Structure 1
Amino acid sequence: MHAAYATVPEESRGRLHAEAGSAHRTCFQRDRDRIIHCSAFRRLKHKTQVFVEHEGDYFRTRLTHSLEVAQVARTMSRTLGLNEDLAEAVALAHDLGHTPFGHTGEDALAEVMAPYGGFDHNAQALKIVTDLERHYAEWDGLNLTWEALEGIAKHNGPVVGELPFALADYDARHDLELETHSGAEAQVAAISDDIAYNNHDLHDGLRAGLFTVEDICDLPIVGRCFAEVDRRWPGLDPERRRHEALRRVFGVMVEDVLSESARLLREAAPGSAAEVRALGHPVVRFSDALWADLKVIRAFLFTRMYRHWSVRRMRRKATGVVRELFEDFMDDPGMLPDDWRDAACDARSETIRARVAADYIAGMTDRFALEEHRKLRGPMGRG
């Protein structure tokens, strides 16, 4: 049973291109299914979070991360009386616009695209689902509902100020009301992302040997979770001990969000999804106390993981790969494949050519980007 403030399929604002409904699925279930079956979603298998994919099979990829986020989003949506299918759709789509090499690749592409309207992964995700996925006979993109597109564009909150080109371009044709907060389902997807990466970055960092259990036992939340495991199962083998403790860290975050969000929703008492958007503040969030603890954890991870010498080496390599691929395709767009080459060579301006090159690079997996770079810059390449 959905709460009054949930987004319900019967009240959807519909799709940009009208189409007949399904006899077996709601509009939000169809959104979710289209995302799962799109090419960009499959490519997430070989796009990394922090580590370069080929360095280890156990570290999270964008695909495994997106599945974890979707699982959390469904659980929390069900508990809060929200629409699970819409929350899951936004969760599954939230990383579609990420470049190869995680945030390092995005930073590099944003730098080279600065003179051409910039680059932002949320805006790129919107471009993918509204344009770059070209499989349907009647339209480009996936023709998702307004609510799914809104969630993809602004699940992290209102988007104000100078907009990334891809976001501004689409919003001019199909108003997503970027100045407001999204519905509660997209807010759930956003905080599920935070929960998932806070937990798995600790797990991946331990597995990679960037820090030890003893190091993180001094952190808030984490230390008391390990202490609880040690009280219940003294002498537990290290791998099981780590798993039991970190799943408790995960649970602490989920329970805190559910408690705080339930309180905010009771106080605001929105009677519809539209009233959630009009509140002017999020209704799905961490408590202030837990958020303060998470900031300590994030500061630790920033120093010990994201700025670790081994990660910095890979960041430097990845940055060079993205920059040089962009330079090569701008210098000679004839090296782009098929439709990309035609679009770049026919471009009416350098800016349009740059956007074509950026779209192509952003869609690459880590291994494909490395292979393209080797072909262009290796001993038999151009440089």
Structure 2
Amino acid sequence: MRAPYASDPATSRGRLYPEEESTFRTCFQRDRDRIIHSSAFRRLKHKTQVFIEHEGDYFRTRLTHSIEVAQVARTIAGALGLDTELTEAVALAHDLGHTPFGHTGEDALERLMAPYGGFDHNAQAIRIVTSLERHYAEFDGLNLTWETLEGLAKHNGPVTGALPYALADYNARHDLELATYASAEAQVAAISDDVAYNHHDLHDGLRAELFSTDELAELPILRDCFAEVDRRYPGLNYYRRRHEALRRFFGVLVEDVIAVARTRLAEIDPQSATDVRHAGRAVIRFSQPLFDDLKVTRAFLFDRMYRAPSVVAMRAEVTAVIDALFPFLMAHPDRLPKQWRKDVEDAADETALARIVADYIAGMTDRFALQCHDRWIGGA
């Protein structure tokens, strides 16, 4: 049953370029489908989550992460009476703007782009779905609905202050009301990102043998999860034991979000999606006790996984790749693919060229970035 505060596709604010809508799909379903069929979404298969794509076949990539986020988001949205298709669309698209090599690549590109307006992966996702996907006859981008674009722009909260150029450029043409909160659906997508990575980074860290199951069993929340597994299944196989504990951890996070959301929504009593946007606070959150426990887990992951010596060493290697590719392409824009050269010819100045180069590098997969580096720069 649809809640009164859910986004309703029948009353969508529409698309920048008007289209005849589908007879059998809602506008939000159509957005989700366009995202899934986009080139940028396919490339997430070979983009880093934490471990570089070639380090192992069983670690999460940006694609598997995005699918897991969408699954969590759809579950929470359904429990709250929200529009599941809009929630899923935002969840599936939230990482489209990520560079090769994950946050390491983003940090490098942000530094290199500092003289040219900066780089932000959330704003880059907007740039991809409104400009860089060029497959349709009548428009650039995917021509997504206002609600999906709003969700991508501000799923983490209102966007204030100086805007990243990629977001400012589109917002000037299609006002996304950046100073307000996003819909409940977009907020669900954002919290589902936290649920997914807190769960799967622990799983991947165990697989990479960066920490032990015994260490994990001492963390808040997980301590109780392991105790319950040991009580119900004494003597359980090592791998099954940690899987059972981690899936309970996953369930605790999801159930907490749903309970808190129901309480906050009851307090605010919104009668429309607009009421949620103007509530003055996020309605989809973790409870404070659980959030405090999660901070301990995040600190553990930061120390033992994100800053593990092997991960830090790989970060240095791939940072060098981005640091070399950017100036090379700035000096040799003729190396860009044919379909990019018209943009280069139209570039008015160095800043415009830098943004084209950043768009191209940001769209690379891990393996393609490494291949380009070897081919163009290599042992030079």
Give the TM-score, by structure 1 length. 0.98
- Confirm or deny that 1:284 pairs with 2:287: no
Letter in 2 for 1:171: N
Matches within 5 A, 1:255-270: 255-270=255-270
1:164 maps to 164
2: CA distance between counterparts of 1:290 and 1:122? 26
2:328 maps to 328
1:354 maps to 354
2:98 maps to 98
Contact 1:345–1:353 (Cα < 8 Å) also in 2: no
Using the TM superposition, give the Cα deviation of residue 205 of structure 1 relative to its aligned residue in structure 2, in angstroms. 0.2
Deviation digits for residues 179-238 of structure 1, max 9, x if unmatched? 110000000000000000000000000000000011111110011101111111111111
2: CA distance between counterparts of 1:154 and 1:284? 14
Structure 2: runs of 5+ lacking an equivalent: none
Supply the RMSD in Å over aligned alpha carbons: 0.7
Q: Give the secondary structure class of the aligned counterpart of 2:172.
A: helix
Using the TM superposition, give the Cα deviation of residue 339 of structure 1 relative to its aligned residue in structure 2, in angstroms. 2.2
Q: Give the secondary structure class of the aligned counterpart of 1:219.
A: coil
1: CA distance between counterparts of 2:185 and 2:267? 18
Q: Give the secondary structure class of the aligned counterpart of 2:48.
A: coil
- Confirm or deny that 1:189 pairs with 2:207: no
Contact 1:15–1:144 (Cα < 8 Å) also in 2: yes
1:309 maps to 309
2:363 maps to 363
Q: Give the secondary structure class of the aligned counterpart of 2:209.
A: coil
Q: Give the secondary structure class of the aligned counterpart of 1:25.
A: coil
Using the TM superposition, give the Cα deviation of residue 123 of structure 1 relative to its aligned residue in structure 2, in angstroms. 0.3
2: CA distance between counterparts of 1:355 and 1:328? 14
Q: Give the secondary structure class of the aligned counterpart of 1:225.
A: helix
Using the TM superposition, give the Cα deviation of residue 47 of structure 1 relative to its aligned residue in structure 2, in angstroms. 0.4
Contact 1:270–1:276 (Cα < 8 Å) also in 2: yes
Q: Give the secondary structure class of the aligned counterpart of 1:182.
A: coil
Q: What percentage of residue pairs aligned between the two structures are identical? A: 68
Matches within 5 A, 1:1-383: 1-379=1-379, 383=380
Using the TM superposition, give the Cα deviation of residue 21 of structure 1 relative to its aligned residue in structure 2, in angstroms. 1.1
Deviation digits for residues 34-86 of structure 1, max 9, x if unmatched? 00000000000000111001110110000000000000011000000100000
Using the TM superposition, give the Cα deviation of residue 7 of structure 1 relative to its aligned residue in structure 2, in angstroms. 0.3
Using the TM superposition, give the Cα deviation of residue 245 of structure 1 relative to its aligned residue in structure 2, in angstroms. 0.4
Q: Give the secondary structure class of the aligned counterpart of 1:173.
A: coil
2: CA distance between counterparts of 1:210 and 1:338? 43
Deviation digits for residues 99-132 of structure 1, max 9, x if unmatched? 0000000000000000001000000000000000
Using the TM superposition, give the Cα deviation of residue 344 of structure 1 relative to its aligned residue in structure 2, in angstroms. 2.2
Using the TM superposition, give the Cα deviation of residue 345 of structure 1 relative to its aligned residue in structure 2, in angstroms. 4.1
2: CA distance between counterparts of 1:84 and 1:50? 28
Letter in 2 for 1:255: E
Contact 1:100–1:366 (Cα < 8 Å) also in 2: yes
Letter in 2 for 1:10: A
Identify the range of structure 1 (269-278 vs 341-350) with the bigger mean alpha-carbon deviation: 341-350
Q: Give the secondary structure class of the aligned counterpart of 1:186.
A: helix
Using the TM superposition, give the Cα deviation of residue 342 of structure 1 relative to its aligned residue in structure 2, in angstroms. 3.3
Using the TM superposition, give the Cα deviation of residue 352 of structure 1 relative to its aligned residue in structure 2, in angstroms. 0.3
Structure 1: runs of 5+ lacking an equivalent: none
| Number of equivalenced pairs | 380
Give the TM-score, by structure 2 length. 0.99
